[in-house]
Structure 1
Amino acid sequence: MFFTLALFGGFRREELCGFEFQDFDHDHQTASVKRVSLYTPEDGIFTAPTKTAKSRRSLKLPAWVFSLVAQLQEERHRQCLALGDQWHESGRLFTKVDGSPIDPGRPYKWLKRFCKERGLPFYGVHQFRHLNASLLIYNGEDVKTVSASLGHSQTSTTLNIYTHSFETAQARASSAIADKLPVKFGGK
């Protein structure tokens, strides 16, 4: 579920760890980023505001993602019943076995171990966000839409990070136009 949301929403790791079940509107099929979950040795795991005001956003996601969220919520309910008074209700999607918020570093460690066990290259959790952005750009989304989807405070941030992807998409679009024109300009 974590990596599904990372890919389809392009969410930051701390945003994913901060998701609560109440952030998912099943009727409108939107997920809203309202908080982040962070860790420091001094404070442990704690909840904080999003990175920027524009990081607070709602994204429409595929309907089947909400089925997975509902299944996860049912699983959490069963865990709660099984643990009884040992359960620590946090409302979070991603928790420790006892229901308390997961350490934001845990998905990184899990993915690294998963890749190693299967002989796959490991690129880190943040690459799911980059893949999301690159796929949006490749499929013709404009910089403003991509920037809003990623929660960047300025489109210049998106352009700086994804310049190559936008250049590749623009070149592909230019070639598509040239391939469709019946007349070749500049020649005889």
Structure 2
Amino acid sequence: MSALFEFAPHTGLREGELLGLRGEDLDLAGGTASIRRTLQRTNSGGLRPSRPRPRVRSGGSHCPPSVCTPSNSTATSKLRNAKAAGTDWKASGYVFTRLDGSPIEGATLTRHFNALLRRARLRRIRFQDLRHSAATLLLEQGVELVVIKELLGHAHIGVTATVYAHVRLRLQRQAIDTLSDALRHPAEGPAKPDDGGDPPTCAAPVR
């Protein structure tokens, strides 16, 4: 599942969207993944694919090279697993599968994720938190909120703004601190000659 754990924070996809990815959803040449379904366990039992909520996500999601390249680690691992399973191999068509090729359940994903955190001696978080981490990192890198909305598949930008309001508030504080430092310590240097007759500019009072 290493490729799945790498794919999640690189794309910000939901758990069901990740587990529902099939081979035909990947554009290896373009490096994108189309979100056509989610995979979840239903009340009646068994894993069932369903369509993503309308207006939630448009187009495709860019994916890391470890998955969306012809010679990627995911394809190599699946081929190795298929040979090992022999006649027990289940050609489900999903990108991320169990060792026998069958789809992965959410509970199985959570169990493996928690085990990975324990081995790495990291505090326990939810798998869903990888999605939040992706959005937080994008905000901190200055990516516009509307772009993050599209990547996360939110129906309305207000949802994105509300969920990550604490991040935006922290970034605003950092911006004000940076501005304050610049005003307290202006860059010193020789004045440039004025080749025009206009008076020098001055700062307007901020109200």
Would you say 1:144 and 2:164 are equivalent positions? Answer: no
Gaps of at least 5 residues in structure 1 are none
Q: How does 1:1-188 map to 2 (within 5 A)?
A: 1-67=3-69, 70-180=72-182, 182=186
Contact 1:34/1:56 (CA < 8 Å) preserved in 2? Answer: no
Contact 1:115/1:121 (CA < 8 Å) preserved in 2? Answer: yes
Name the larger-Rg structure: 2
Q: Which moved more, 1:129-138 or 1:52-61?
A: 52-61
1:158 is displaced (CA, Å) by: 0.5
More helix by share: 1
Runs of 4+ in 1 over 6 A off after TM superposition: none
Q: Which moved more, 1:79-88 or 1:36-45?
A: 79-88
Structure 1, residues 19-65: CA drift from partner, whole Å, max 9, x if none? 12222222111122221110135231111111333235412244455
The 2-side partners of 1:184 and 1:69 are apart by: 58
Q: Which moved more, 1:92-101 or 1:165-174?
A: 165-174
Higher relative contact order (CA 8 A, sep 6+): 1
* Matched residue SS, 2:99: coil
Structure 1, residues 156-185: CA drift from partner, whole Å, max 9, x if none? 110111111122223333444454464877
Identical-residue share of aligned pairs (%): 26
Contact 1:37/1:48 (CA < 8 Å) preserved in 2? Answer: yes
The 2-side partners of 1:5 and 1:101 are apart by: 17
Question: How high is the TM-score relative to the length of structure 1?
Answer: 0.85
Gaps of at least 5 residues in structure 2 are 187-201
Q: What value does the CA root-mean-square deviation take over the aligned residues?
A: 2.6
Question: How high is the TM-score relative to the length of structure 2?
Answer: 0.78
